[in-house]
Amino acid sequence: MSDPIRLTPPLTDADAERLKAGDRVLITGVLYTARDAAHARLVDLVRRDEPLPFDPAGQIVYFVGPTPAPPGRPIGSAGPTTSYRMDPYSPLLLERGLKGMIGKGKRSPEVLEAIRRHKGVYLAAVGGAGALISQRIRSAEIVAYEDLGPEAIRRLEVEDFPAVVVNDCHGGDLYAEGRARYARPRGG
Amino acid sequence: MRELDVGEITRAVRRLAVEANTDLGADVLDAFERFTATEASPTGRDILAQLTENARIARDEKRPLCQDTGFAVVFVDLGQDVRLKGGDLYQAVDEGVRQGYADGYLRKSIVADPLRRENTGDNTPAVVHLRLVPGDRVRIVFAPKGGGSENMSGIAMLRPADGVEGVKRFVVDRVSEAGPNPCPPTIVGVGVGGTFEVAALLAKRSLLRTLGAPNPDPYYADLERQLLDEINALGIGPQGLGGTTTSFAVHVEAHPCHIASLPVAVNIQCHSARHKEVEL
């Protein structure tokens, strides 16, 4: 395995273009959390052409709903949630300049097309490794929708947050490539 | 008649909720190790190592294994010679969930209504599967179920003519279609027979088995082996990034069914296969 690529948001088109499916990355800097309910609200604002609680331009959204922070820690366990539920919303946010998404699992053809068109990237973190991943999160503050509890939008500061590029803006797809490499014929 | 105060059930549920979410079973940890030895993909082996490290951190530091601390699914086997006193059983279970999820800093993941979607704020209500059994004991199994793997589950009402091949096709197709979504390596729970709802519950109950313990009926133990082999030939691998470990085990449970029917249900369990139990 080659050395991981270091990323610090905000990302540019050029940053996205050099990422290829299968690349391992370490992110240091700011991530914004959002999952189902927060996405619904964000996209509602976009459709009504109202300002968003944070400017998505160049940013990375992390699909996560963390557990509550225990005393003395910035956040609880915080692994990725399944991304396809955000598929109806992601293209609009990519259109508004969002560059990256971190989650787990497959994306829709519409999202993949939006990643290509707007030069974005879709990354996966290890699902179910929430305790491990939380060690890379230095701080967390709620920026919007506190009423949503675990689904509130949080601004995280992360250090060496590990992820892998699943879908790049050139059409690369690690899920398809990885699976094809290890599949055996049925009954074989 | 043995009397049991429902407060004891609340205390047990509270403790099990925290334990189940922070202390992964030895059978699951053992599977991480066994499959690390056989996994062909270096990335896959690295992921299994990360899951082992995650479980160590969770246990040592009493932190949730996963941020999705689940729907509180509680199986209660109530001895018919027990008389519960001091309150309502279901309320006692919910109170245990409420306390465990608050005190353990677990996530509250339940909405009060499926369409209006307001979070209840305390992870109640629990799903309680109550069974009356002989004896004067109460057995409680706490199995928090995450949404990601639950969403990849499915049920089909096959024709008897579809037979075992039809069952295999449905199960393997379900896992194939789910791909990376349910956090593989998974445990695939399969319920065959019964009625529509019985098949689903069989699939769910099968997940409570010790990981990889075969069905005692050799016919079904053989079916489990065949299904696991076919599933692991899909190439999905740990986290769906490619590999030879898509599932750790397939657990099949069967039940008598109608001459017209062949129900089959698949309940997928992510690698964070959490369940703890106690007998009162």
The reply to whether B263 and B183 lie within a common domain is yes
Q: What residues make up the domain containing B97? A: 2-20+65-145
Measured in angstroms, the CA of A130 and the nearest CA of chain B are apart by 5
- Tell me if chain B has a CB within 8 Å of the CB of A67: yes
Q: Is A4 on the interface with B (CB under 8 A)?
A: no
**pLDDT, mean of residues B44-64:** 96
pLDDT(A187) > 90: no
> What is residue A16's predicted lDDT score, i.e. its pLDDT?
97
Does residue A188 belong to any structural domain of this protein? no
The residue-averaged pLDDT of B223-244 equals 98
Asked if the structure places residue B11 within a domain, the reply is: yes
Q: In this model, does residue B77 exceed pLDDT 90?
A: yes
**Containing H/E element for A131?**
helix A130-134
Whole-number average pLDDT of chain A: 95
**Overall number of domains in chain A:** 1
Give chain A's end-to-end CA distance (angstroms, integer).
29
Residues of chain B with C-beta less than 8 angstroms from the C-beta of A128: 51, 54, 65-66, 183, 270-272
pLDDT at A1: 61
Confidence label for B129 from pLDDT (cuts 50, 70 and 90): very high
Q: Is the peptide bond before B214 cis (omega within 30 degrees of 0)?
A: no
Q: ipTM of this predicted complex? A: 0.93
Domain boundary among B92, B120, B145: B145
Q: Which residues of B touch A182 (CB under 8 A)?
A: 40-41, 235, 237, 242-244
Ramachandran class of A147: left when φ > 0, alpha when ψ lies in -120 to 50, beta otherwise: alpha
Domain end, chosen from B115, B145, B175, is at B145
Is the per-residue pLDDT at B35 higher than 70?
A: yes
Report, in this order, helix, strand and coil percent for chain A, each rounded to 5: 30, 25, 45
- Disruptive mutation site among B239, B268, B274 for chain A (greatest number of A CBs within 10 Å): B239
pLDDT at position A2, please? 74
* Among candidates A84, A149, A181 on the partner chain, residue whose Cβ is nearest the Cβ of B242: A181
- The beta-carbon neighbor of B180 closest among A70, A105, A132 is A105
At B84, which amino acid appears?
L
Query: Out of B66, B108, B233, whose CB is closest to A149?
Result: B108
> Is the CA virtual torsion B169, B175, B176, B177 positive or negative?
positive
Reported as a pLDDT band with limits 50, 70 and 90, residue A185 is: confident
Task: Report the helix count and the strand count for chain A, using DSSP H and E.
Answer: 6, 7
**Residue B90 domain flag:** yes
Residue B42 lies in a domain: no
pLDDT given at position A186: 66
Q: What are A7-38's pLDDT values in tens digits? A: 999 999 999 999 999 999 999 999 999 999 99
Domain range for A63: 5-182
Q: Side chain identity at A37, as an amino acid letter? A: A
Inter-chain CB proximity B105 and A67 less than 8 Å: yes
pLDDT at A188: 44
Mean pLDDT for B185-203 is: 98
| Radius of gyration for chain A, computed over Cα atoms and rounded to the nearest angstrom | 16
Which CATH number covers residue B249?
A: 3.30.1330
Tens of pLDDT, residues A134-182: 999 999 999 999 999 999 999 999 999 999 999 999 999 999 999 999 9
Domain boundary among B145, B160, B184: B145
What does the pLDDT look like over A118-129, one tens digit per residue?
Answer: 999 999 999 999
Q: Is A78 on the interface with B (CB under 8 A)?
A: yes
Rounded to 10 degrees, the C-alpha dihedral A116/A121/A122/A124 comes to: 150
Residue A161, in any domain of the structure = yes
One domain for residues B134 and B152: no
pLDDT of residue B234 exceeding 90, the answer is yes
Cβ atoms B232, B247 nearer than 8 A: yes
**B182 & B228 share domain:** yes
- Are B211 and B222 contained in the same domain? yes
Place of tokens 């068109």: A117
- Chain A CB contacts of B47 under 8 Å are 126
Q: In the A/B pair of chains, how many CB contacts fall below 8 A? A: 166
Q: Which among B117, B179, B270 has CB closest to A128?
A: B270
Residue B212 has pLDDT above 70, yes or no: yes
Could you tell me if residue A103 is inside a domain? yes
In a domain, B33, yes or no: no
**Measured between alpha carbons, how far is residue A114 from residues A171, A173, B94 in Å?**
11, 14, 44
